[in-house]
Amino acid sequence: MRELRIELHSQSITALEGAEEVFKFPISSALNGVGQQNGSGQTPIGRHYIRAKIGSGASINSVFIGRRLTGEIYSAELACQYPDRDWILSRIMWLCGQEVGLNRLGQVDSMRRYIYIHGTPDSEPMGLPKSHGCIRMRNEDVIRLFDWVPKGCPVMIEA
């Protein structure tokens, strides 16, 4: 069985096939730390699964807004035009919490908070918490992971 383990303390994501490590990539989680509350800008913990995979076949550095391709390809020039955008690039794996009261339903619902695993500009650091709550990855890494992981894949996020 395939599964993902995200370790916030080490800022890494590990892809597992049974007990065997297949990939391990650096990530960037929330600048605001760990937390479940809607509007907190924090990364939730606990058991999740990949509810949806968005962007299959899109070009590397393709830009998404509201889970839809904009037709743009990220560049330094585009970043200058839109300095306040939270760049979601290349692929999206939308997470759904599985633990009622921790990361599912009410004011702690990861899916309603739009918590994703997604690509980010290569200029953004990995290994440092900098996101608005999502799990950011290098574009090449997120594409590789996206192609390997099935929809419905279990994801454990640990502090």
Give pLDDT tens digits for 51-70: 999 999 999 999 999 999 99
Distance CA 4, CA 16 (A): 6
DSSP state of 149: S
Distance CA 22, CA 90 (A): 21
Report residue 152 as tokens.
Answer: 């419905």
Give pLDDT tens digits for 101-132: 999 999 999 999 999 999 999 999 999 999 99
Mean pLDDT of the chain: 97
Report residue 91 as tokens.
Answer: 């692929």
